[in-house]
Structure 1
Amino acid sequence: MIRVASGLRMVLAAFALAAFAFFLLGPLVNLALWSVAERWYTPYKLPVVYGTRYWEQVFRPTGD
């Protein structure tokens, strides 16, 4: 009985940790992916073209 409760507690803790990681890291990973995407069309799951062109434009000394 104690072993089953301990196993259930570990499963719930692992699920809670996975849910926390998903809700915390998911948006950050999405933001990082969007920051390097130059072209991303509708039917594709990932960007078609990656690049740092917009990063260079923003951090240029005479940036717009």
Structure 2
Amino acid sequence: MTADLTDEELADDLEAQLRLITDAYRRGGDDYEVDQVLSHVSWVRRMKRRGIYEVFSDVPEAEEDHEDLE
């Protein structure tokens, strides 16, 4: 949704969430675009509330896993 923020960063940034939603409405986007933005913002907020991002932050990056195999 945003090129400059990860989903985890978006979940922590209420201003960015509001900006995404208002931009979708301001552009006069069709119902699908607005629904996509609302769904995405709701999804990242739900993931944060459930602690999913914290769980994944404890998992090593995929690249680091592959270094052990070399």
Q: Is the TM value for this pair above 0.5?
A: no
More helix by share: 2
Please say which structure displays the higher CA radius of gyration. 1
Which structure would you say has the larger RCO, counting Cα contacts within 8 Å and 6 or more residues apart? 2
Question: What is the TM-score with the length of structure 1 in the denominator?
Answer: 0.34
More strand by share: 1
Structure-2-length-normalised TM-score: 0.32
